[in-house]
Each structure stands twice: as C-alpha cells, then as structure tokens.
C-alpha cells in the first residue's frame, strides 16, 4: 500500500505540514496549488523539501475549468496548462489533476471534452507529464465518474487517465460497481475521503465537512473494494477539506490519516479476501468483553476522599497491592483501583491532572493482539518496569495520554487480581448495593479531538459508533458520540466540549486535558439500590421539582412512578426499545460524575434528553453561593 495525503488536509505552514505527514509514515503528498502559492520559496525549493522529508509528490492539483471551452477561452486554457506544466517540472511531479469544469461558458459534449483532453495529453507527453481527470460532484456538465471515464476512454491517450475521488462518487450515491471494469492503468490516482451524513449543498459539504475514511458515514470501504477489484495498486491519497482539521494539531491529524488508510485496507481485505491488498499481516479488530477496571491516580488526601465516596456508593475496599501503594475497591464486576504511588506513570498523571482516572483496563479477547493491531495503526504502546511478582499488562496510550490496559482470559493476565492483590477479607461482603458492572465510561475532550478518538476506538476494537447527540449544557453545546460493541459490554461516550463554561469544558480546563469525566455503573434494580444507598447516607444530586412535572407529562407516567422518581431524585428516559433510569451522585472535584443506571428492555441511549436538567443541577451543586458562575 502506497499512501499519500493532500497538503490541504493538514494545518500549518508548508514545512509544518511536511514534517507531520512524514512523521506519520506517509509515502507521498499531493500539493494543493494554494499551499505552493502561499509558500515563500520556489517550486523547486518545495519539491526539494518534500523529497528531503522522504515524500514523493504524487499529484499537483487542481487545474480548473479546462474542458469544453469555446475560443478564445480554449486557447487560453491550454496556455494556462503549459504554465502549470512548468511549475510541475520545477516541483518534480509528473501528475496533474484536472477537475471537471464549473465554468458558465463551458460547453457540454463528451466528444468535445475528449478532444480537448487528447490535445492536452499530447502536450503533457512532450513534457513527460500525465494528466488525470476528476468529476467534481458539482461539475457543470460532468459530475459522475462514469462520464469522466467515458471522456478519458475516448481521449484515448496514454498520458490521459482518470482520477477517482470517493467523496464525489459517494456523495452522489453513484453505484461503485461501475468502477470494477475500469482498466487499472487508466486510474492515475485514487483520492479518498469520508464525510458525515448531512443533507446539504454538495460543494459546501465537500469543502468543509470531509473527514478520514471511517470517521464519517459514507461507504468508503465498498468504494475501495471496487477500486481494488481493478487491480489498482497506486497511491491512496487522502484529500480532506475540513474546517476543524485546518485548525487542528497537524501531527495528530496526520496520524489519524495514516491510521484511517491502514484500517480501511484491512477492512477491504477482510470483506473481500480475494482482492490483492498489500498490508502487513495484522490481527483483526479485537472483541472487547467489558471494562475490567478503572484506575484513579491520587495522593493520600485524595485517596481518603475517594474512599469515603466509594463507600457511599457501596464499594468495599477489598484488596491491597502486594508491593505498591495501590488499593482495590470492588462491587459486582466493577474494579476500581486507587493508585497513590510516588513514582511511575500514575504519579506523573496525578502531578499533571490532579486526582483523576489515569487508566482504564479493558477485558479483551486477546491482549497481545490488541497491542499489535494498535501499534500497526500508529497507536503508542506503553510499558513501564514492573516489580517482582507483578504481571506485565499490555497497554497503549489513550485519550489525554492516559493508558488503556488489556486483560484477557487467554493468559495469566486473567489472574491479575489474585496475583497482584492481597485480599482484605470481610469488607466486600459488608457492602455491595447491587452495582453490577460498568455501564459506560464518559471521556471528555475538546470538540476537535472527537474524530481522532472515534477512529482510534473503532479501528482497534470491534465497536461501532452510535449517532452523534447534542447534549445541551446551559452554557453551550457538548457533542456526545457513543461507541459501543454488539452486546453492550463496552460503551464509551466521547464528549466534545466547545467552550470552557460548559461542565465538560470546565472539567478539561481544571484537570488540564482530556480525560474520563463520567463513570456510570449498572444495576438490576435501581429502586432497591437507591434505597440501600440512602440507608448508608448517600445523598443524590438534587433535581429541580419542575423536572418531575415535565417527565410525568412527557411520558404519561403513572403518578406512583413519578412520585418514586421524585423521592429518589431519579431521572427517567424511554425510547422505542426500553426504559432508562439514572441516579447521580453530586459532582465530585471539578465536575467528575458518578452515575448509577438501570436499562430496562433494550434501551439504546444515555439519557441525553435529561442532560440539560441534570447539568443545571450539577452546576448548582458545584457553585456554592457567591462563587463565579460556571
């Protein structure tokens, strides 16, 4: 697989773009003309910089409004092309992209366009160059790759070929099987982009909302299967026009890009094994069986606070690490690890973020395979020295530099609790209020990071994304993207904060970066859990009385149920598949959220419709009178 990316896809100046692209492991770049025009060296300098960075220049683009012109515009277009051929010569690239004309004076006619391309092919051949033709989805006469291919076919010139761009084909829902019969030698390059399913003007959609394959909703894999069926094995070149990427972190976006291509071709290979795909052997996306543990990093004072809080939720302090200052709290299948070591990863994490979740442990089908796949997708494996008698738990870096550890049943990793912890007898049995497992983990991040982590989780694990949901905070919108596996044993929510005054934004600002903000625990009978917690002195987050009047009216609830909800400060939601009950603890620290939920039937959501009211309640709780408004 040969990978390339258009310079428009990455933020920064030309040198920044090159550095990020090269570091992410791409083989080449497409030079978007504006990036060259903005660059303050010669085209030869730009070409040298790219080659010095180890990058081929795979394409120079775009050349616009060429075909179908009447005279005198036609002759001028050829003159313009010759000027750009000069630039390409200096740059050191041999392929130019001509996109279909949007000129109001352009005339239609496949043969007219074919004749123009034949002549352009002659001129390109004299210079040792090639020209590829791409159908823009909004082209005036040509907006379908099948028409562009017919023009290229009739131009019948070795230096004229077709350029396929997944966006233009898929945005118009053009049948991709039409690609399979195109001779591979006539496909000069393949551009790839995905996009979220939004109903809008094609040009605007393309120029602002494209994203990496796998980050959007277009069937890019099917498109790429059709391309691969031709035998095409040239560059796969990302061409991503996206407002957020233009302002994003160049290195992170480049890594996402490379990850998206490896994942895409792996998916293509698995969907249609007969296709020739050159990729290193890699394990398939790994099945996850749940959250095995959540680890907090803190100090002694923080640990004492957490201890009180966890006891209040019915967790028993039931284990001590054999050699480290690490405590284990348990309830049902939930393991909470509290790490107060004075060195190592957890301690560094505590110094940066304060008391916070520094790691999540996932139960997976195969821990080694997970790290191997993640590594091939550009994730960062993590290792630190382990003490004698401890297990080396495979791990990678996740959101905000935190860790994802992997436990499986295949190896001795499954015995980690017995091997690494001395039981504290008695405590566990005393407590336990019916919490069974982690229902979901909410990770809060800047809005611009959401696609990065969406691709991270969906490319490494057998998971899929749920529809994006807007969570309405009184101070702004927080976008929430759930990622789930089929049996619901893994549910993650990525919450993207747009500003610092939302509860999510405040949390990122105060804890210095993206992190787990929200832990939701499942139970089987939330009313009995609520009663048991109450008996222990647990005081839930106080909801406004108006909420209960509204929820009763909205769902037509029986008055008794509404009263029970009100008595327990419980929240309620319902969808076509089931019901959802939520009980919140008061916010902890700078907005950390513990929640208890019960799903009845097959409720699919996370209570987004309750979010405005619960966030308002949380903010009231966090802002004692006289404190500045959040």
Ligand X SMILES: O=C(O)c1ccc(O)c(O)c1
Nearest-10 Cα torsion for 448, 453, 454, 456: 140
Say if residue 440 carries a ligand binding annotation.
yes
Say if residue 390 carries a ligand binding annotation.
no
366 is a contact residue toward ligand X (CB under 6 A): no
Residue closer to ligand X (CB basis): 189 or 328? 189
State in angstroms the smallest separation of the CB of 30 from ligand X. Answer: 8
DSSP line for 584-604: EPPPBTTTBEEEEEEEEET--
State in angstroms the smallest separation of the CB of 168 from ligand X. Answer: 6
d(CA 245, CA 22): 17
- The entry of ligand X, Mg ion, none near residue 206 (CB within 5 to 8 angstroms by kind) is ligand X
State in angstroms the smallest separation of the CB of 6 from ligand X. Answer: 8
Contacts (CB under 6 A) with ligand X, residues 130-149: 134, 136
Residue closer to ligand X (CB basis): 191 or 331? 191
Q: Give the ranges where 172-219 is alpha helix by DSSP (H).
A: 202-209
- The entry of Mg ion, ligand X, none near residue 207 (CB within 5 to 8 angstroms by kind) is ligand X
Residue closer to Mg ion (CB basis): 179 or 287? 179
**Contact criterion met (CB below 8 Å) for 246 and 296:** no
Per-residue binding letters, 239-258, with ligand X (x by CB under 6 A): x-------------------
Residue-wise burial string across 270-285, b where 16 or more C-beta atoms lie within 10 A, e elsewhere = eebeebebeeeebbeb
Among residues 515, 544, 513, the alpha carbon closest in space to that of 612 is found at 544
State in angstroms the smallest separation of the CB of 138 from ligand X. Answer: 8
d(CA 402, CA 449): 14
* Backbone angles phi and psi of 572, in degrees to 5: -135, 140
Identify the residue whose tokens are 């982009």. Answer: 193
Residue closer to Mg ion (CB basis): 239 or 590? 239
Structure tokens given for 214: 């796998």
Q: Which residues pair with residue 334 across a beta bridge?
A: 331
- Choose one: 191-199, 207-215, 298-306, 601-609; the region binding Mg ion (CB under 5 A): 191-199
Structure tokens given for 190: 């393949």
Helix axes 43-52, 14-23, angle to 10 degrees: 20
Residue closer to ligand X (CB basis): 10 or 617? 10
Say if residue 45 carries a ligand binding annotation.
no
Per-residue binding letters, 48-67, with ligand X (x by CB under 6 A): -------------xx-----
Based on the number of CB atoms within 10 Å of its own CB, is 68 exposed (0-12), middle (13-18) or buried (19 or more)? Answer: buried
Please state, in angstroms and as integers, the Cα–Cα distance from residue 10 to each residue in 211, 379, 399, 622, following that order: 11, 19, 21, 39
Residue-wise burial string across 375-385, b where 16 or more C-beta atoms lie within 10 A, e elsewhere = ebbbbeebeee
- The entry of Mg ion, ligand X, none near residue 370 (CB within 5 to 8 angstroms by kind) is none
33 DSSP 8-state letter: H
Q: Give 574's contacts (C-beta < 8 A, 6+ positions apart).
A: 555, 580, 603
428 is a contact residue toward ligand X (CB under 6 A): no
Residue with the CB atom nearest ligand X in the bound state? 62
Per-residue binding letters, 152-181, with Mg ion (x by CB under 5 A): -------------x----------------
Say if residue 67 carries a ligand binding annotation.
no
99 is a contact residue toward ligand X (CB under 6 A): yes
Residue closer to Mg ion (CB basis): 165 or 598? 165
State in angstroms the smallest separation of the CB of 240 from Mg ion. Answer: 10
Residue with the CB atom nearest Mg ion in the bound state? 165
165 is a contact residue toward ligand X (CB under 6 A): yes
Per-residue binding letters, 29-68, with Mg ion (x by CB under 5 A): ----------------------------------------
- The entry of ligand X, Mg ion, none near residue 101 (CB within 5 to 8 angstroms by kind) is none
Residue closer to ligand X (CB basis): 171 or 630? 171
The 3-state secondary structure of 215-251, one letter per residue: CCCCCHHHHHHHHHHCCCCCEEEECCCEHHHHCCCHH
Contacts (CB under 5 A) with Mg ion, residues 235-254: 239
- Choose one: 234-242, 272-280, 442-450, 497-505; the region binding Mg ion (CB under 5 A): 234-242
- The entry of ligand X, Mg ion, none near residue 62 (CB within 5 to 8 angstroms by kind) is ligand X
Residue closer to Mg ion (CB basis): 30 or 215? 30
Bond preceding residue 127 cis, omega within 30 of 0: no
The number of CA neighbours under 13 Å toward the Cβ of 18 is 20
Residue closer to ligand X (CB basis): 51 or 207? 207
Helix axes 559-568, 526-535, angle to 10 degrees: 40
Say if residue 484 carries a ligand binding annotation.
no
Residue closer to ligand X (CB basis): 9 or 475? 9
Residue closer to ligand X (CB basis): 190 or 492? 190
Tell me which of 206, 349, 475, 480 binds ligand X, using CB under 6 A. Answer: 206
d(CA 257, CA 263): 10
Please state, in angstroms and as integers, the Cα–Cα distance from residue 8 to each residue in 29, 320, 580, following that order: 10, 53, 44
d(CA 560, CA 544): 18
State in angstroms the smallest separation of the CB of 176 from ligand X. Answer: 17
Q: How many residues bind ligand X (CB under 6 A)?
A: 11
Binding residues: 134, 165, 191, 239, 440, 518, 595
Q: Which residues are annotated as a binding site for a divalent metal cation?
A: 134, 165, 191, 239
Interacting residues toward Mg ion by CB under 5 A: 165, 191, 239
Residues that bind ligand X (CB under 6 A): 61-62, 97, 99, 134, 136, 165, 191, 206-207, 239
């Amino acid at each position: 697989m040969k990978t390339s990316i258009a310079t428009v896809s990455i933020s920064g100046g030309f040198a920044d773009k090159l550095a990020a692209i090269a570091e992410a492991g791409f083989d080449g770049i497409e030079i978007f003309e504006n990036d060259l025009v903005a660059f303050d060296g010669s085209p030869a300098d730009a070409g040298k910089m790219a080659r010095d960075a180890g990058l081929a220049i795979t394409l120079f683009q775009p050349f616009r409004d060429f075909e179908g012109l009447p005279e005198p515009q036609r002759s001028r277009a050829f003159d313009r092309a010759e000027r750009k051929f000069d630039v390409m010569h200096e740059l050191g690239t041999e392929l130019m992209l001509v996109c279909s004309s949007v000129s109001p004076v352009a005339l239609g006619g496949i043969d007219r366009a074919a004749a123009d391309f034949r002549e352009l092919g002659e001129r390109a051949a004299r210079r040792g160059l090639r020209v590829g033709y791409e159908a823009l989805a909004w082209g005036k006469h040509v907006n379908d790759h099948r028409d562009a291919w017919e023009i290229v076919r009739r131009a019948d010139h070795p230096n004229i070929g077709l350029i396929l761009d997944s966006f233009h084909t898929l945005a118009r829902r053009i049948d991709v099987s039409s690609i399979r019969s195109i001779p591979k030698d006539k496909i000069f390059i393949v551009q790839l982009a995905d996009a979220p399913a939004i109903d809008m003007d094609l040009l605007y959609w393309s120029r602002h909302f494209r994203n990496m394959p796998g980050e959007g909703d277009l069937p890019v894999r099917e498109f790429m299967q059709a391309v691969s069926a031709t035998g095409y094995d040239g560059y796969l070149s990302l061409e991503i026009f996206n407002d957020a990427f233009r302002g994003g972190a160049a290195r992170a976006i480049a890594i996402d890009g490379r990850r998206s291509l490896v994942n895409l071709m792996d998916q293509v290979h698995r969907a249609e094994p007969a296709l020739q795909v050159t990729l290193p052997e890699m394990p398939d996306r790994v099945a996850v069986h749940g959250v095995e543990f959540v680890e907090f990093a803190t100090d002694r004072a923080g640990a004492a606070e957490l201890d009180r809080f966890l006891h209040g939720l019915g967790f028993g302090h039931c284990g001590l690490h054999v050699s480290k200052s690490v405590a284990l709290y348990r309830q049902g299948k939930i393991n909470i690890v509290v790490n107060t070591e004075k060195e190592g990863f957890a301690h560094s994490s505590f110094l940066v973020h304060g008391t916070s979740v520094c790691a999540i442990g996932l139960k997976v089908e195969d821990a080694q395979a997970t790290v191997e796949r993640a590594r091939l997708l550009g994730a960062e494996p993590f290792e630190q020295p382990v003490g004698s008698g401890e297990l080396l738990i495979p791990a990678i870096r996740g959101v905000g530099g935190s860790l994802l550890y992997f436990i499986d049943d295949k190896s001795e990793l499954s015995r980690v609790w017995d091997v690494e912890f001395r039981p504290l007898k008695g405590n566990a049995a005393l407590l336990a209020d019916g919490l069974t497992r982690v229902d979901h983990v909410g990770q809060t991040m800047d809005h611009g990071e959401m696609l990065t982590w969406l691709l991270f989780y969906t490319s490494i694990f057998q998971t899929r994304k749920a529809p994006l949901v807007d969570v309405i905070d009184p101070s702004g919108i927080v976008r929430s993207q759930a990622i789930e596996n089929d049996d619901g044993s893994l549910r993650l929510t990525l919450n993207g904060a747009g500003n610092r005054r939302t509860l999510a934004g405040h949390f990122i600002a105060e804890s210095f970066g993206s992190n787990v903000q929200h832990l939701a625990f499942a139970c089987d009978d939330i009313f009995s859990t609520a009663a048991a917690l109450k008996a222990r002195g647990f005081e839930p987050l106080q909801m406004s009385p108006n909420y209960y009047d509204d929820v009763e009216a909205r769902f037509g609830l029986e008055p008794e149920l509404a009263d029970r909800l009100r008595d327990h400060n419980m929240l309620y939601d319902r969808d076509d598949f089931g019901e959802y009950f939520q009980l919140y603890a008061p916010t902890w620290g700078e907005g950390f959220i513990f929640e208890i939920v019960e799903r009845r039937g097959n409720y699919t959501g996370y209570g987004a419709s309750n979010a405005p009211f619960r966030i308002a309640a949380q903010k009231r709780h966090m802002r004692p009178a006289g404190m500045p408004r959040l």
